[in-house]
Structure 1
Amino acid sequence: MKIQLVLMASGFGRRFGSHKLEVLVHGRPLYTYGMKSLCQAAQAFLPSSGIDCQVTVVTAHDAIASACQAQGIDVIWNGQAGEGMAASLRCAVQAHSEADAWAFFPADQPLLTAETIADFLRQFLASGAAVGCMHNGERRCSPAVFRRPYGPGLLTLRGDTGGRQFLKRPQTWVYYPKRKGELFDIDYQDDLIFLNKTLDK
């Protein structure tokens, strides 16, 4: 079985006011936190499960693409990034149509750990569900994972809502991380203040 782990790094940070994914946080671009956790989770998951986990980055930013390629990480160029989140999902499903499942992770959740990612995937597979997502204590949210039967549906998505319409369904399996703060995402400039304080601890 193959699970494609997809870091969605195509956003332009409209609410943030600038290209947030390359903003330096403790000397590192914001997106690298999520990328590192995904790579660590993939490496940890394989020996314990025998399941093939591969990481890919979907982006519309040259600097991110070049840096990931230099590290040997698969990159998919998103030429329709201006449309919104759905374009990233379609790019990944089209490029990795052979995968048995696609798991999508926003690049602006820097506190999400490899341990939580691996546990999320492990429990999702054990559930037998066809679709799953995390819950931040208030609502269902990304990360989300879809098995192959959802492939055609993902390819029909348009706009900036991603796969949200699927996640609202009653049959969606929901994961509650032990530390819901890991799902904190960076939307506005002020969010960096909280992030820096958290990383300083």
Structure 2
Amino acid sequence: MQKIGAVILAAGRSSRFGSPKQLAQFREKTFLQRVVDAAQEADCSPVVVVIGSNAARVSREATMPIVENKNWRKGIGSSIRVGVEYLIGLEPGISAVVLLVCDQPLLDAEVIANLRVLHQETGKGIVASTYADTLGVPALFARDVFPELLALSGEKGAKKIILANQERVAKSPFPGGHLDIDTPADYENLMRETRLLSKRRREAAPRIRV
């Protein structure tokens, strides 16, 4: 049985959002908690949260093991490296890691589980999500790709590895992956669309007469 862990990247400053977007609420949970729950429900273990900017505030919301990237200003590559190193320390025999971010509100356990299934079915060392004509996270990386993750630095994230190794990549559709939250306007649009969807569902539901 393969042991697949998850690293949740929550170290960013959210400068365009104006406050830690990891802690923004969506469907009665913070963005961070939603990702943690999805990873757990998809049977990822251990689940590690990498914090950096606003470390004290974000760490209070983390229910999983956390590791602080003190060099978070150097970019997402440094956070990936810190998270994977910490994961290996917790579980030396780990078979693969799923990299996750906090600003894809439509991420759920099924999206992560599909990565795992495709990895097992294809034997590919990388399974990346596809959306908006691109490849990206969430993405699964097998143990033999860890050296490349650990060599990342600066603003170059996992996508660099995915695009450079497409012959090793299996592709898993993530229809909502294009929707990410970077600004207050993005967040307001998300909340408005969610309210409209809820209203349509209520209106479409059959009415039961008593």
Same fold at TM > 0.5: yes
Runs of 4+ residues over 6 Å off in structure 1: none
Q: Deviations over 1:91-147 (max 9, x none)?
A: 122112222111101111121111221122111222100112101132111111111
What 5-or-longer segments of structure 1 have no aligned partner? 43-51
Give yes or no for contact 2:5–2:96 (8 Å, CA) kept in 1.
yes
Helix, strand or coil for the counterpart of 1:96? helix
2:95 paired with 1:104: no
Superposed displacement of residue 162, structure 1:
0.8
2:72 paired with 1:81: yes
Task: Using structure 2 for the length normalisation, give the TM-score.
Answer: 0.81
What 5-or-longer segments of structure 2 have no aligned partner? 199-210
Structure 2 partner of 1:157: 152
Tell me the percent identity: 25
Alignment length (residue pairs): 187
Give the whole-Å Cα distance in 2 for the aligned partners of 1:184 and 1:82. Answer: 24
Evaluate the alpha carbon distance shift between residue 39 and residue 199 of structure 1 in structure 2; reply closer, same or farther with a 3 A threshold.
Answer: farther
Evaluate the alpha carbon distance shift between residue 134 and residue 161 of structure 1 in structure 2; reply closer, same or farther with a 3 A threshold.
Answer: same
Give yes or no for contact 1:35–1:107 (8 Å, CA) kept in 2.
no
Task: Using structure 1 for the length normalisation, give the TM-score.
Answer: 0.84
Give the whole-Å Cα distance in 2 for the aligned partners of 1:199 and 1:137. Answer: 20
Helix, strand or coil for the counterpart of 2:176? helix
Superposed displacement of residue 182, structure 1:
4.5
Within 5 A, what are the aligned runs for 1:1-201? Answer: 1-25=2-26, 27-42=28-43, 53-60=45-52, 61-68=55-62, 71=63, 73-97=64-88, 98=92, 99-168=94-163, 169-171=165-167, 172-177=169-174, 180-200=175-195, 201=198
Task: Please identify the structure whose Cα radius of gyration is greater.
Answer: 2
Give the whole-Å Cα distance in 2 for the aligned partners of 1:153 and 1:64. Answer: 28
Structure 2 partner of 1:49: none
